[in-house]
Each structure stands twice: as C-alpha cells, then as structure tokens.
Amino acid sequence: MLRQIEGSRAVAEAVALCRPRVVCAYPISPQTHIIEGVGTLVKSGRLKPCEFINVESEFAAISVLIGASATGARTYTATSSQGLLYMTEAVFNAAGLGLPIVMTVANRAVGAPVNSWNDHSDAMALRDAGWVQLFAETNQHAVDLHIQAFRLAEELSLPVMVCMDGFTLTHAVERVEIPTQEQVDRFLPPFEPRLLLDPADPVSIGGVVGPEAYAEVRYLAQARHLGALARIPELADDFGRLVGRQSGGLVSSYRCEDAETIVVALGSIVGTTKDVVDQMREEGTKIGVVHLTTFRPFPETALAEALEDAHRVVVIEKALAAGSRGILGADIDALVTNRGTRTFTVVAGLGGRAITERSLRRVFGEAIRGELGVVSFLDLDRDAVDRELARMAANLGTPPSVGRVFDDLRTPTARIV
Amino acid sequence: MFQVRFHGRGGQGVVTAAELLAVAAFNDGRHAQAFPSFGAERSGAPVASFCRISEREIRTRAPIDEPDALVIQDATLLHELGLFSGLRPQGYVVVNTAKTLEELGVAGIAKDLPANHVLSLRATEIAIAHLGRPLPNAVMLGGLAALTGVVSLAAVVAAIEERFSGAMRDGNVAAVIEAFNQTRVGPEALVAHQISQRRTVGASPD
C-alpha cells in the first residue's frame, strides 16, 4: 500500500511484516520511532506472536537477542550512536556465533563532543564486527532492505545491520510503498535455525577456540561474507520480481555511462547528489554517482566494474577515520589507483552538518579542475580551524611530518578544504 | 517544486504542520517530503520544519534555503535573524497574528512581494474557538491552502482526519475550514480582510 509515512514508522511496519518473534530494545535516546512503532504493533496485537522486551541497556538488548536467536526465534532490534557502541562486545559475539539477528542502525554521530545528529560514525566504528551492513538511500529502500535482510541473515547465518540516516531518513515523511503481508510471506519463509538451543538436548555454544583453530573459524566467517556477495543480488532480483521495483543489491549506478567523474557515497546523500549530477549533466559535465548499498561485505568486483571507466572518483564520507585518509575512500583507493584513476575523499555532513547542492557542485568542480586535495572537509570553517592550529603550533611547536595525505595539516595556512 | 518552511516554537506542532502538509499533498496525488530541523527539542524554543511538494520524486535531502512560502506560527519570531532568509521573490508568507503587518513592523516584507502574498491569520484565536487550546498549526494550513492553492482544502481535511481522532480531529477540521474561508475572500479582498481584522476587538494571542 502506498502511504505518506515517516521513515521510522515505515520501517516499523516492514519489520512487523517480517514476523519477528522477539524484539528487544532499550527505549531511550538515541532511539528513533522505529522501536516505539514496533512496540505499538505488538501491543495492539497486530504483530503476534511476538515478545517485546524492554531492557536496561543496549548491551542487554543485543545479549537477549543472542539468547533468543540461539533458541530459534527470529529477532530484531534498533539503535544508533552511543547505543550501538555500548553493544559492541556482543555485536561481535552475534557475528561470531552466526546468529541471524537483524538490527536497524539509525546512523548518528558519536561523542565526545555530545552530538546526536546524523553521520555514519556509529556504523563505521563497527564495520569489521562481522555483520553484513546495508545502507538505505531512501525510506522506500529502507523498507525493502529490512525485508531482504531477514532472508539474507537466515539463509547465511549472518547478522545484518540495515543502516539508514538518522533524522534525514528516520524523521522524513515521504511516499513509501509498504508491501502486503502476502508478498512478504512469499518472500520470507519461516525461520529454520541451523543452530538450536534446546533444554531437552543441551549443548554449549560459543566455547573456547584456541590458536590451533581460531584462524579457521575466522576464515569461515570470511567465506560466509563472500557467499553474501553472491546472494545479495539474487535476493534483490527475487524481491524486485515480487514487488515490481528494483531495490537492494550490491551497488547501483546513476548516469555513469561515459562518466569521467563518478561520485561514490552511502545512504541518503546519494539523493541530493543525483540532483546535482542532473544539473551538471545539463551543463555538459560527464558525471555520475554510485550508491554502495552493500558496504560489508565490500563489493569489490561490482564496484571496480562500476568505476571502470572513470577518470576520477569523488568519495563522500559521512564519518572520519582520524589519522587515516578515510574509510570508504581508502577501500576505493585500493581498487582503482593502479589504473591511474584519481580518488578524492570528501568528508561531509559530520554531526548533522547540512550538505547542500551548492557545496557539492563546488567540490565536484574542484575535483574536475584538479584543485581538490586528496582528503578534504566540506564547508569547513577554515578561519576557526586556522586559529586553533596556530594556537596549537605556538604551544607545542611544529607537529612532526605526517606524510603526504596530511601535508595540509602541518601549516595552518595550507588548505584542507 | 514548491517548498515551505515553517517557523514556530517547541510545543506548537511545527513538525506536525509540515507532516500534515506533506500528507495533504500526497492526498492530492503529488510527491511530498516533510522533515524537521534537527535540534534539541525544548518547549518554547524556536523550531523550524520543512515541506517540499513536487510532481516528481523528490530526491534532495538538503534543507530548504529558498522557500516559496513561509508559515510563521508565532509572530514573536518575526524579528528572529534569518526568518525571511532565502524567501523567493514570488513567495508567500502566512503569519499567525491578530495584528496588522504595520503593527508588527514587517510591512516592508509585504512590499517586496507580489500583492496579496502575505496573509495575517488569527490562527490561535480560531484554534481556541474550535479546540479550546492554542494550537495554531493545522489552522495555518487552511490559510496556506487558500492563499497559495498548493494543496486543496479537501486534502488538508483528509490529512487531519488521518492524523487526529475525536475532538482534536473535529475541532481541527472545523478550524481549518474557517481559516480557509476567512482567507478565501478573493485576492482583492485580502488587504481589506487584514484591515477588518485590525478592527476586530477581542483577545489577542500576541
């Protein structure tokens, strides 16, 4: 049914259609309306059988789901920001145990300083925890990815994070087609657990694995992720046939035929970028944008193909990997530099900083004219930063050489932007 | 694309207003996107929200910096820095007030816009009359619909009926219809309408 609905509410509806048996969450900021929405659906009896468990922390939430999932229940939770980080230890455990938990991460910044606005710092901090990470470009995409996530998770025994931009998507009221229960039931069969704790036949899981076998266990995790790379596009096609729209997959390209400049990004900023691409195309600039729906496992081959003919790649990062040239940027750099393709990392939208079409146009133009640094910060307040750098330099002396990428930072007058 | 920026104070339903407008536009068969300004929510603090309406899919997620219409739910915000920033030359303004623009000291804004593009609406009074509470948000949409024609009255009423129930639904529907009819006295009558409002004696929400 086509509805004009808030992103969080739409996701709550989609999750309910997937018939989770146990939903467990810590219902406090930084939560979104998703958990509230699922809770309402459980209480009203629309989602049943389902046990909704309020707990005392995010760490407890994921821990309860680990137990519930191991006893064969389809499980779901949502969190973001500090809440996700507070879960961290058990997030790794869920992946290590191969439990198909689905979790929405409504992406937000991480403190300190305290900031609950949107960026990708939370999900990026846990990118190597062993979970599949899917990023939604729109609320429609978020709804569709959640339904695909449960099937992917359960087929491959892998937990899946569906990442959607906090506020930008979760609080946006827009047009979303919510699939019918019949469609979802046809796509998502009942959960048949591979691993099942049963009091009548007790076993122990997650035991000690010594140096003689730990690497092998990790290798198998890698194999499951590589399996996901093959399965994700198939599930997207299945889902697409069922609902009549293409949604999901590994990467999606927009106007990249003959594009000399390709922008790569995760999440909702791709929408704004598409508008900018259209404007620049009208002026004759050969530019396109690639959305990375699947970030973990990293779709190396699909992405390399999508970027094959680009002269330059501009990567928009909504997270900062302090001390490195970026997260997505470094991954993409490794893929394309040996072909002579230039890559630029643009750190943007940190802590909810608005990303405007004007700023994107400017920075894409600078990349095309070769005026952009390897790593730059969109719309940085240069004066404020220079003053502080000068003060630091006066107090501490000149910082030691930190290599090419960080040349800009050595002298306050050099440009990062 | 028609872009509306709502200004008000925390507790006045500024976010709900943008959402109702988006649902109304959807009811009219258009694409719409509503979103709040993302700040710390505090009762009484200045709050903004946004709504885009288009015939095509709306992809941009950038804040609205060049609105086609401003809906100002609280006239005490009129002198906030940047309230009118980016307003398009052909733009519209709806202000919740029982005063005239001259009395509010913003008559200059109306002079820069086309004739009859600025509406002062006694939304708080209308809300109190129909809801018993000073909740001007839905009422303002009646004025906006009549002033701009960007959404139909029927679509606004349907959005309210979907969102509220009981007395809130019935009161808001009646209030929106009254606001619409008050405004819809014809473009030529708008100025006269403002003058008649000035002459009206009664409780002032300002």
Helix (H) or strand (E) holding A285: none
CA atoms of A393 and A399, how far apart (whole Å): 7
- Based on the domain organization, do A128 and A263 belong to the same domain? no
| Bridge-based pairing state of the strands B2-9 and B46-54 | antiparallel
- Based on the domain organization, do A81 and A202 belong to the same domain? yes
Among B27, B34, B62, the residue with its CB nearest the CB of A272 is: B62
The b-or-e profile of B25-63 (16+ CB within 10 A means b, else e) is bbbbebbbbbbbbbeeeeeeebbbbbbbbbeeebbbbbb
- Based on the domain organization, do A7 and A95 belong to the same domain? yes
Cα B169 to chain centroid distance, Å, stands at 18
Return the pLDDT at A399: 54
- Based on the domain organization, do A267 and A182 belong to the same domain? no
Do the domain assignments include residue A24?
Answer: yes
Among B26, B33, B65, the residue with its CB nearest the CB of A172 is: B33
**Selecting from 3.40.50.300, 3.40.920.10, 1.10.1740.10, 3.20.20.70, what CATH number does the domain B2-199 have?**
3.40.920.10
Among A4, A117, A165, the residue with its CB nearest the CB of B22 is: A4
- Based on the domain organization, do A257 and A198 belong to the same domain? no
CATH classification of the domain holding A91: 3.40.50.970
Q: What share of chain B is helix, strand, coil (3-state, %, to 5)?
A: 45, 15, 40
Q: Contact B61/A175, CB-based, under 8 Å?
A: no
Q: Which of A115, A169, A174 to mutate to test the interface with B (most CBs of B within 10 A)?
A: A174
Return the pLDDT at A290: 98
Whether the Cβ atoms of residue A364 and residue A392 lie closer than 8 Å to each other: no
For chain B, residues with pLDDT lower than 50 are: 187-206
- Based on the domain organization, do A272 and A236 belong to the same domain? no
Q: Contact A272/B19, CB-based, under 8 Å?
A: no
Among A173, A269, A275, the residue with its CB nearest the CB of B22 is: A173
**Any alpha helices (H) in A189-317, and if so which ranges?**
214-243, 269-282, 300-306
For chain A, residues with pLDDT lower than 70 are: 396-417
Q: Which residue of chain A is at minimal alpha-carbon distance from B57? A: A175
CA distance B127 to chain A (A): 25
Whether the Cβ atoms of residue A79 and residue A25 lie closer than 8 Å to each other: yes
Q: Is A274 on the interface with B (CB under 8 A)?
A: yes
Burial class (CB in 10 A: 0-12, 13-18, 19+), B66: exposed
Q: Contact A357/B65, CB-based, under 8 Å?
A: no
Counted domains in chain A:
2
Q: Which residue of chain B is at minimal alpha-carbon distance from A166? A: B38
Do the domain assignments include residue A93?
Answer: yes
- Based on the domain organization, do A198 and A290 belong to the same domain? no
Q: Is B63 on the interface with A (CB under 8 A)?
A: yes
Q: What is the residue range of A310's domain?
A: 251-379
- Based on the domain organization, do A60 and A130 belong to the same domain? yes
- Based on the domain organization, do A12 and A94 belong to the same domain? yes
Q: Contact B63/A354, CB-based, under 8 Å?
A: yes
Return the pLDDT at A271: 98
**Cβ-based neighbours of A91, under 8 Å, separated by 6 or more:** A62, A84, A126, A129, A131, A159
* Category of A268 on φ-ψ map: left (φ > 0), alpha (ψ -120 to 50) or beta: alpha
Which residue, A208, A243, A278, sits at the end of a domain? A243
Residues in A touching B32 (Cβ below 8 Å): 4, 173-175
- The token pair at B178 is 């009254």
- Based on the domain organization, do A28 and A163 belong to the same domain? yes
Q: Is B61 on the interface with A (CB under 8 A)?
A: yes
Q: Which of A341, A313, A317, A338 is nearest to A327 (CA)?
A: A317
Radius of gyration for the alpha carbons in chain B, expressed in angstroms and rounded: 15
- Based on the domain organization, do A82 and A193 belong to the same domain? yes
- Based on the domain organization, do A278 and A213 belong to the same domain? no
Q: Which residue of chain B is at minimal alpha-carbon distance from A351? A: B38
In degrees, rounded to 5, the angle at the alpha carbon of residue A122 between the alpha carbons of residues A261 and A36 is 115
Q: Contact B19/A6, CB-based, under 8 Å?
A: yes
The answer, yes or no, to whether the previous bond of A49 is cis (omega within 30 of 0) is yes
Averaged pLDDT score across all residues of chain B: 87
